[in-house]
Chains A and B, each alone.
Chain A
Amino acid sequence: MATVEVEVIAPLISGVRHCRHCQPFLEDAGISAPVQREELGSYPEEMWQDYTRLSNLVRSLAGRYGDQVRIVLIDPHTPMGFVKCVRHWIRQYPTFIVNGRAKYAGWDERSVDTLVRAGGALEKAEGGAVLGR
C-alpha cells in the first residue's frame, strides 16, 4: 500500500534551534538546554495553545493511520514553506496538503480524516489491524 503524504503548513515554535550558526556552538559549549528553554518559553501564549493543539492533532493522525501516512511539518518561513504557500495559495494555518494536491485549511480533524482516507489510507483498529472503509 502506498504511503499517504500529509504536509502540514503552520508556523512552528523553534527557538534558536533553527539557527545553524548558533546550534553547533551551543552544543559544543554544553549550554544548548538553557538557551532553548529560555527561547521556547518566550513565545506568546496563543502560539503555544495552537502549537499544542496542532501537536495533538498530528499525534492523533499518526496513531490512527500508523505507517500508512507520512506527516511532514513545514514552517511557512522556510524557503520550502514559502514555495508551498504560493503554490497552494495558503492564507490560513494550519493547512493540510495530502499527496501534494488535496488541501484543507483549519482545525477540523474529521475534514483532515476525509482527505487522508481519500488519499488511500485506512484507519487502524486499536490492536493495530487495518479497518475497512
Chain B
Amino acid sequence: MGSVAIIVAIVAVWAGYKFYAGGIDRSVLKADPNRATPAKMYNDGVDFMPASSSVLFGYQFKSIAALGPIVGPVVAVQWGWLPAILWLLLGVFFIGWVQDYTSAVMAMRNDGLTMGGLSYKLISPRARTILLSFLYFYLLLIMGAFGAISAGLFANPKVAFGFIILTLAGVLSGQMTYKWRKDLMVTTVVCVGIAVVGIWLGTLGPFQAIVDAINGGKDSFILFATPYGPMKWSVFFWGIVVLSFCYLGSVLPIWRFAQPVNYIAFWLVLFGILGGIIGVFIRMPSFGDFPAFTGFYVKGIIAPGVDTPLWPILFVTIACGAISGWHSLVSTSGTARQLEKETDALPVGAGAMFTEAVMAVLAVVFAVTAFGGYKGYMEVLTKGGGPAVVFARGMAEYLNVLGIGKDFGLAFGSAFLVIMALTVMQLVLRFMRVASAELLGEAIPAFRNVHFGTTVGVLLTLLLMWTGFWSRIWILFGGSNQLFASLALVLITIWLATTGKSYQWALWPAVFMYVSTVAALIVTAYVSFQAAFAPGLKAAFMFGNLIAAGIGFALVILSLVLAWDALQAFGRARSLKPATAKA
C-alpha cells in the first residue's frame, strides 16, 4: 500500500502538471518563449540573470523543500492517512502549483517585482507593510518550532555526539577550502567521512555514556513541570546547545561556519533521501491497521487534551507539499528574475511544486508504515520525541532494509533533520540580527552590536521554546505561512482581473486558503488564550500562552485589514476594461 500511495501520487501530480497546469498555461497565461523576460531585459549578472530551466528547477526545489514537507504530513496523519494524502494531492493539484507558477509569471510580467513590490502596486502601500509583518512573525515562529524539534532530537543520547562531530567536520571543511586551499574531492571525502564516523561513534556505548552523564542519567531528570508535560533537563540543555550553534552560525563569517557545515550536511541529506526511497521500494510496505480516517477531531495537536478539528487545522499543519506561501517569495524574488524564457516558468515553478508533493507523500508513507500501525506511530509521536523522531525512526527502518543498522540509521536520520533545521535557523537568526540593527539601531544603538542583536533573537526563541507547546507554534507558523499563500493568490487574482484574463481558477483557491487560515488562527489563538487562564498555571506558562494568543490574534487583525484593501483593489481591477489593461 505504501508504494501504491507513492505511485498514485506520482500519477496524480503528472496528470495535474500535464493537463490542468499545462491547460491553464496554454489557454490563459499563454506563456510566450519570444517575450523578453526581466532576466534578459535587466541582466546585471547579480539579481537579474538568465539561467537554464534545469538549473532553475534545482534552485526552486532546493528553496521550497526543507522540513515543511516532512514535519507537516507526519503530524497530520493523526487524522488518518487519507485526509493527509487527499489534501496533499488536491492541494497541489488545484492550489499549490497555481501559486508557485503564476506568481513567477506575474512577477516576470511586472519587471521582476518581489511580493512586497507587487503588494504595493496591486493592492495598497500598507499591504506591503502587512506582508513584512507576516514575514517577521514567520521568522520568529520558525525559530521556535525548529528549535523545539531539534532540542527533542538532541536529547537522544545516540544523536548529540555525532551531530557535534558533524559540525566540527563542517568547520574543518571551511578551513581546508578557504584557508588551506585543499582540493574539494579530498576535503569532501575527509570531512563527510569524519561526519559519518562521528555519527556511528555516537551510537556506541562509551560515547553514549558521556551524553548520558550530561543528560543526568539514562532517562534524564525532570527540571520542571509544564502544562504540556515534564521539561526534562536533557531537552532544556540541548535546546541551549542548539541555539548556541545558531549563534555561531549567525555571528561567524559565513565561510567559517554556515557555508561549510551546510556543504557537508548536503551529502548526508542526499544519502538519506536516496537510501530512504530505495528502502521503501525494496520493502513495499503495507499500511497495516493504520486507519484511513480517525475522526474529525483528534486530541492534542493544538494543546494536550484539546480536541483539534480537521478543518481548518489540517490546512495549516500541512503547508509545504500542498501549498505554502513561502514559495511565492521564492518564485517572485528569485526565479522570476532568472527565467530565460516565459515557457520555462511551468516546468520550474509548477514542476518543483508537484515534485515536493511526492516528497510529502513519502513522509506520510514513512510515518504510516514504519511502526507497525497507528498505535506504534502514536507511541513514538507522543512519547518518543515528536514528529522529527517519527521521521528519523522511519528513515532508520528503511535504511535498515539496505543493511544499515537501526541505531546508526536513527542517529543518521536525526542528524539529517537537525542539520536541515539548523541550516534555516542560523540564517534566520542572522537575518533577525541585521533586521533589528537596521530597524531599531537608530533608537536603540545596542542593536547595532552583532552580539547584542543575536542574543536578543536567541532569548526570544528560548522563551518560545520553553513556555510554549511546540505543536501550537508549528500551527501558528503554518498560519503565518498560509497567510502569505492567501496574499499571493489574491495578488494573482487581482493581476489576472486587471489584465482581463480569466481569474476564477485563482480566486476560489484564494478564498479557500484565506478562510481556512484565518479560522485556524482564530481557533489556535482562542485555545491559547483560554489555556493562559487555566487554574493553577505558573506565570511563565501564562506568558507563553498569551504570546501564542497574541501572535494569533495579531495575524488575524492584519489579515482582515489586508482583505479589506484587497477587496477594494479587486473591485478596481474588475472595473477596468480589458482593452485598457495590459499584461
List residues of chain A with CB under 8 Å of any chain B CB. 11, 15-31, 34-35, 38-39, 42-44, 47, 76-77, 79-82, 85-86, 90-93
Per the 8 Å Cβ criterion, residues 187-244 of B in contact with A are 188
User: Quick check: B430 and A20 within 8 Å, CB to CB?
Assistant: no
Which of A43, A79, A82 has a CB less than 8 Å from the CB of B253?
Answer: A43
0/1 interface trace, chain B 441-470, chain A, CB 8 Å (1 if under): 000000000000000000000000000000
Is B431 in contact with chain A by the CB < 8 A criterion?
yes
Residues on B with beta carbons closer than 8 Å to the beta carbon of A44: 178-179, 255
Residues on A with beta carbons closer than 8 Å to the beta carbon of B428: 22
Given contacts A16-B254, A34-B434, A43-B253, contact A81 B114 (CB under 8 A): no
Which of B59, B132, B181, B255 has a CB less than 8 Å from the CB of A28?
Answer: B132
Give A117 to B278 CA distance when docked, in angstroms.
47
Per the 8 Å Cβ criterion, residues 390-432 of B in contact with A are 423-424, 427-428, 430-431
Give A82 to B266 CA distance when docked, in angstroms.
12
Give A93 to B182 CA distance when docked, in angstroms.
9
User: Quick check: A20 and B183 within 8 Å, CB to CB?
Assistant: no
14 other contacts beyond A44-B178, A82-B184, with CB at 8 A cut-off?
A20-B63, A21-B63, A24-B333, A25-B329, A25-B431, A28-B114, A28-B132, A28-B333, A34-B437, A42-B255, A42-B256, A76-B184, A79-B58, A82-B185
User: Quick check: B330 and A20 within 8 Å, CB to CB?
Assistant: yes
User: Quick check: A91 and B185 within 8 Å, CB to CB?
Assistant: yes
Residues on B with beta carbons closer than 8 Å to the beta carbon of A34: 434, 437-438
Q: How large is the interface on B (under 10, 10 to 19, 20 to 34, 35 or more residues)?
A: 35 or more
User: Quick check: B334 and A85 within 8 Å, CB to CB?
Assistant: no
Residues on B with beta carbons closer than 8 Å to the beta carbon of A35: 430-431, 434
Which of A11, A15, A20, A43 has a CB less than 8 Å from the CB of B59?
Answer: A20
Is B115 in contact with chain A by the CB < 8 A criterion?
yes
Give A15 to B58 CA distance when docked, in angstroms.
20
Residues on A with beta carbons closer than 8 Å to the beta carbon of B89: none
How far apart are B64's CB and chain A's nearest CB, in angstroms? 9
Give A1 to B431 CA distance when docked, in angstroms.
48
Per the 8 Å Cβ criterion, residues 477-519 of B in contact with A are none
How far apart are B30's CB and chain A's nearest CB, in angstroms? 27
How far apart are A14's CB and chain B's nearest CB, in angstroms? 8
Is B135 in contact with chain A by the CB < 8 A criterion?
yes
User: Quick check: B333 and A23 within 8 Å, CB to CB?
Assistant: yes
Residues on B with beta carbons closer than 8 Å to the beta carbon of A28: 114-116, 131-132, 135, 329, 333
Is B62 in contact with chain A by the CB < 8 A criterion?
yes
Shortest beta-carbon contacts, A-B, top 10 = A42-B253, A20-B63, A24-B329, A76-B184, A27-B333, A91-B183, A24-B333, A28-B116, A22-B427, A39-B254
Give A86 to B184 CA distance when docked, in angstroms.
9
Is B177 in contact with chain A by the CB < 8 A criterion?
yes
User: Quick check: B183 and A90 within 8 Å, CB to CB?
Assistant: yes
How far apart are A26's CB and chain B's nearest CB, in angstroms? 7
Q: Total contacts A to B, CB within 8 angstroms?
A: 108
How far apart are B119's CB and chain A's nearest CB, in angstroms? 9
Given contacts A22-B431, A90-B183, contact A47 B178 (CB under 8 A): yes
Give A84 to B179 CA distance when docked, in angstroms.
22
User: Quick check: B434 and A31 within 8 Å, CB to CB?
Assistant: yes
Give A23 to B188 CA distance when docked, in angstroms.
26
User: Quick check: A27 and B255 within 8 Å, CB to CB?
Assistant: no
Residues on B with beta carbons closer than 8 Å to the beta carbon of A82: 184-185, 188
Residues on B with beta carbons closer than 8 Å to the beta carbon of A91: 183, 185-186
How far apart are B261's CB and chain A's nearest CB, in angstroms? 12
How far apart are B474's CB and chain A's nearest CB, in angstroms? 18
Residues on B with beta carbons closer than 8 Å to the beta carbon of A17: 46
Residues on B with beta carbons closer than 8 Å to the beta carbon of A38: 434
User: Quick check: A31 and B438 within 8 Å, CB to CB?
Assistant: yes
Residues on A with beta carbons closer than 8 Å to the beta carbon of B253: 39, 42-43
How far apart are A23's CB and chain B's nearest CB, in angstroms? 6
How far apart are B290's CB and chain A's nearest CB, in angstroms? 33
Give A93 to B183 CA distance when docked, in angstroms.
8
Give A31 to B329 CA distance when docked, in angstroms.
15
Which of B114, B263, B434 has a CB less than 8 Å from the CB of A27?
Answer: B114
User: Quick check: A24 and B178 within 8 Å, CB to CB?
Assistant: no
Q: List 6 contacting pairs A-B, 8 Å CB cutoff, sorted by A.
A: A44-B178, A47-B255, A79-B266, A85-B184, A85-B185, A93-B181
Is B66 in contact with chain A by the CB < 8 A criterion?
yes
A16 and chain B: residue at smallest CB distance: B254
User: Quick check: B177 and A29 within 8 Å, CB to CB?
Assistant: no
0/1 interface trace, chain B 56-88, chain A, CB 8 Å (1 if under): 001110110010000000000000000000000
User: Quick check: B334 and A24 within 8 Å, CB to CB?
Assistant: yes
How far apart are A56's CB and chain B's nearest CB, in angstroms? 16
- Residue among B131, B334, B430 with the highest chain A CB neighbour number at 10 A: B430
Give A50 to B188 CA distance when docked, in angstroms.
22
How far apart are A57's CB and chain B's nearest CB, in angstroms? 16
Given contacts A23-B333, A24-B334, A27-B333, contact A85 B430 (CB under 8 A): no
Give A35 to B60 CA distance when docked, in angstroms.
22
Is B378 in contact with chain A by the CB < 8 A criterion?
no
Give A77 to B332 CA distance when docked, in angstroms.
26
Residues on A with beta carbons closer than 8 Å to the beta carbon of B115: 24, 28
Residues on B with beta carbons closer than 8 Å to the beta carbon of A29: 116, 132, 135, 431, 435
